[in-house]
């Protein structure tokens, strides 16, 4: 079969149920079955199995038979059942190993992209920042965010610095890196390491803090990249860059500017049940007159609803967020 014929045959097999596919390939030579398996793995890696080209080929095939069939739907199912049925367990294993090697040569990071986030972070723990930067640069945006959020502060900082540099890395080097990380991932799977569970908001908060420490131009570029994939996540990350809990970190002058237009009633609501550190920070940055009004409002206030308190805090934090976006917000050193 020519290469074009192999590709067409592989696409056609995807339209058949596993039993029918097994019967069809039984008559082929082992080397042709191996070529089919490699082509199917390529279709899986490049997501061409559901393309318009595939649909047309399948339609042509079905029309030639005059009947419809149920598709396999799972390429790995073909490799695990059809190959075994066609050539036996030992030969199928041999073919699958060669298919894996061929797939890794074409896309060495495919297995890494599919790995659980916690397992991937564990596999990268002992690697140099440059190596980690190569790996995360090959990940989808969301997975890249999750991995960066779980790295230690020092490693994360170095990795981000590496990502901002234009350093050419040869394909052979990338293959070696991918192979090493894949081996560690398989070792981790063998030891049964459980992935660390981190809440979505915690992950996004860590990502927000990472971005906050970058130069404005780079930060905005990364936010645009996130927005292109998920606008809602981008909005959440922007909000989490500055939260009510960050008030003690804000420099006095920046906080004074934000509090200047806040009325005493709103400020009293925001400070209700608040940590002493935040109360002290805010009281230190308002005038004596504003402090007196705050005392009066606090003494007259009945127990507010949680939503009222949260809304008041959000209103106070909003100008801090705006200043941060404009690169005007200053934080206390350390």
Write the pLDDT tens digit of every residue in 171-181.
Answer: 788 888 988 99
CB 281 within 8 A of CB 247: yes
Alpha-carbon span 210 to 204, nearest angstrom: 10
Distances (CA, A) of 322 to 137, 178, 254, 263, 312: 30, 41, 11, 19, 16
Phi-psi region of 88 (alpha: psi -120 to 50; beta: other; left: phi over 0): left
Neighbouring CB atoms inside 10 A of 44's CB total 18
Q: Which residues pair with 331 in a beta bridge?
A: 250
- Across 223-232, 242-251, 324-333, which has the greatest mean pLDDT? 242-251
Strand ranges inside 258-302, DSSP E? none
Strand ranges inside 73-124, DSSP E? none
Check residue 152 and give its pLDDT.
Answer: 83
CB 45 within 8 A of CB 103: yes
Alpha-carbon span 176 to 60, nearest angstrom: 42
| Mean pLDDT of the region 48-66 | 56
Q: What percentage of the chain exceeds 70 in pLDDT? A: 69
Is the pLDDT at 86 greater than 50? The verdict is: yes
Residue 139: partners with Cβ closer than 8 Å, 6 or more residues away: 109, 112, 113, 147
- In this predicted structure, which of 23-27, 189-193, 199-203 has the lowest mean pLDDT? 189-193
Alpha-carbon span 21 to 208, nearest angstrom: 50
* 193-196: long-range contacts, CB 8 A cutoff, minimum separation 24: 193/118, 193/119, 193/122, 194/118, 195/116, 195/117, 195/118, 195/119, 196/118, 196/121, 196/150
């Amino acid at each position: 079969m020519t290469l074009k014929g192999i590709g067409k045959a592989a696409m056609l097999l995807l339209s058949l149920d596993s039993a029918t596919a097994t019967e069809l390939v039984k008559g082929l030579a082992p080397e042709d079955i191996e070529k089919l398996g490699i082509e199917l793995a390529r279709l899986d890696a490049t997501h061409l199995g559901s393309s318009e080209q595939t649909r047309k080929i399948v339609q042509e095939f079905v029309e030639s038979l005059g009947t419809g069939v149920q598709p396999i739907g799972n390429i790995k199912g073909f490799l695990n059942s059809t190959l075994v049925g066609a050539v036996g367990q030992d030969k199928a294993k041999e073919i699958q190993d060669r298919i894996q090697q061929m797939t890794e040569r074409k896309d060495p990071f495919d297995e890494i992209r599919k790995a659980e986030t916690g397992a991937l972070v564990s596999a990268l723990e002992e690697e140099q920042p440059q190596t980690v930067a190569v790996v995360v640069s090959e990940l989808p945006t969301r997975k890249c965010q999750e991995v960066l959020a779980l790295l230690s502060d020092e490693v994360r900082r170095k990795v981000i610095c590496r990502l901002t540099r234009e350093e050419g890395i040869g394909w052979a080097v990338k293959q070696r890196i991918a192979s090493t990380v894949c081996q560690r991932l398989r070792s981790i799977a063998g030891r049964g390491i459980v992935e660390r569970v981190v809440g979505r908001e915690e992950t996004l908060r860590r990502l927000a803090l990472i971005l906050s420490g970058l130069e404005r131009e780079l930060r905005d570029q990364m936010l645009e990249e996130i927005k292109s994939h998920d606008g809602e996540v981008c909005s959440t990350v922007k909000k989490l860059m500055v939260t009510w809990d960050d008030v003690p970190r804000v420099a006095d002058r920046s906080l004074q500017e934000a509090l200047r237009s806040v009325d005493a009633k709103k400020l009293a609501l925001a400070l209700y049940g608040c940590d002493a550190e935040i109360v002290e920070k805010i009281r230190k940055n308002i005038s004596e007159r504003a402090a007196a009004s705050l005392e009066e409002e606090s003494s007259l206030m009945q127990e507010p609803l949680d939503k009222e308190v949260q809304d008041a805090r959000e209103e106070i934090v909003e100008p801090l967020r705006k200043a941060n976006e404009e690169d005007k917000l200053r934080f206390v050193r350390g």
